[in-house]
Amino acid sequence: MAKVSFDVALFPTETADETLRLAKLAEKLGYDGVWVGDSHIIWREMYVLLGAIASQTKRVKLGSGVTHPLVRHLSLTASSFLTLSELSGSRMRIGIGIGASGPINIGVKRAARKELGEAVGQLKALIQGKPVAFDGKEMRLMFADHANVPVFMAASTSRTRELAATISDGVIHGGREDLLKEWVSTFRQSVGQGGRDPASVPVVSWVPCCVSNDAREAKESVKPHIARSGWTSFLKMVSEGKPVAEEDRLAAERISREYDFSHHMSREHSHLVPERWVDLFSAAGNPEQVRKRIDQIIACGVDVVSIVPYGDKESIIKLFAKKIIG
């Protein structure tokens, strides 16, 4: 197996103490990083959890998986991550994207790609102690000491991927795994064309995962995530004029009509997911099936495989560490 890092992304649907326990377990079992989701209306508050995890772990890198530019003021985001960096011993990463359930559930619009790009630049400047103007008011973080908190952009479209290749310190891919090799290759080329070493900008593959001795149950468990990723992936392909099978287009359109963001990535949407989407968007099944899938993902040239466990999270984290990471 090629040299990669293995992370766990936790969407904090459980109590805060349970999420903390799972993060500590991931470190104990040898995972390299932990990401925590940011959707404060439906999940526990990310910054509180990251603070608790930072204070009770020693080694794993930590990050937002992912935050968004328009729900919290960017000065608050920058200040929070600088504080977390101090608390964790410089182990923080900022994962940021245009937003989904976070802004939508409080009536805030999702960020446009231009706004996301501007936000990344402003965050970097604030973290470095530079002045930034918001609505005509110039401000800077008074305690910033030029710490390095890398910014990873979630990129689900080709244009956002190109933007990430230009300005981000890392990129998060969460789409179809069968298109991943081409996606990574195109991203690396874009980084190089921008004058940077393509290997200097890590690619994180975000993989909904369930590993169980009951393969059928495992595949059913990841459908809540696939409902969202499948819908957005196929309808973006339609909007870009790319060929999409009629059954996939119809399924995606139905999900877009019926999806409820107050139950984001929950089982309420599982019945909408076609069976054939499971292998396109996840690593789910028995240990042998999941290992084969992870090997395929690694062969695409990613630097980090971050599993998003669905089902019995503790069991998945343990079994993945034992059977796949080894």
Question: DSSP strand E in the chain: where?
Answer: 5-10, 33-36, 61-64, 92-96, 132-134, 137-139, 151-154, 170-173, 203-211, 283-285, 304-309
Q: What pLDDT does residue 1 have?
A: 44
Q: Report the pLDDT averaged over residues 176-189.
A: 96
Check pLDDT > 60 for residue 184.
Answer: yes
Whether 147 and 179 have beta carbons less than 8 Å apart is answered as no
Main-chain phi, psi angles of 44, to 5 degrees: -65, 155
CA 150, CA 54: separation in Å to the nearest integer? 16
Mean pLDDT of 16-43: 97
Tens-place pLDDT, residues 65-79: 999 999 999 999 999
Q: Which tokens hold the place of 182?
A: 């081409």
Pairing type for strands 137-139 and 203-211 reads: unpaired
Chain segment 298-315, per-residue pLDDT in tens:
999 999 999 999 999 999
Say whether pLDDT at 116 is over 80.
yes
b/e sequence 289-306, b meaning 16+ C-beta within 10 Å: bbbebbeebbebbbbbbb
pLDDT for residue 3: 86
Condensed to tens digits (0 to 9), the pLDDT of residues 209-225 reads 999 999 999 999 999 99
Give the SS3 label for residue 98: coil
DSSP state of 152: E
Indicate whether this model's pTM tops 0.85. yes
Report pLDDT for 2: 54
Query: What pLDDT score does 102 carry?
Result: 85
Average pLDDT, the chain: 95
Could you tell me how far CA 125 lies from the centroid of its own chain?
23
CA-closest candidate to residue 205, choices 85, 35, 12, 67: 35
Distance CA 67, CA 94 (A): 8
Structure tokens at 51: 């603070």
pLDDT in tens, 121-170: 999 999 999 999 999 999 999 999 877 899 999 998 899 999 999 999 99
The answer for 99, left when phi > 0, alpha when psi is -120 to 50, beta otherwise, is left
Q: Which of the four pLDDT bands, split at 50, 70 and 90, describes residue 101?
A: confident
Burial 95-128 (b: 16+ CB within 10 A, else e): bbbbbbbbbbbeeeebbeeebbbebbebbbbbbb
Which of these, 211, 215, 205, lies nearest to 306 by C-alpha position? 205
Q: Are strands 132-134 and 137-139 parallel, antiparallel or unpaired?
A: antiparallel
Residues 6+ apart with CB under 8 A from 321: 29, 30, 31
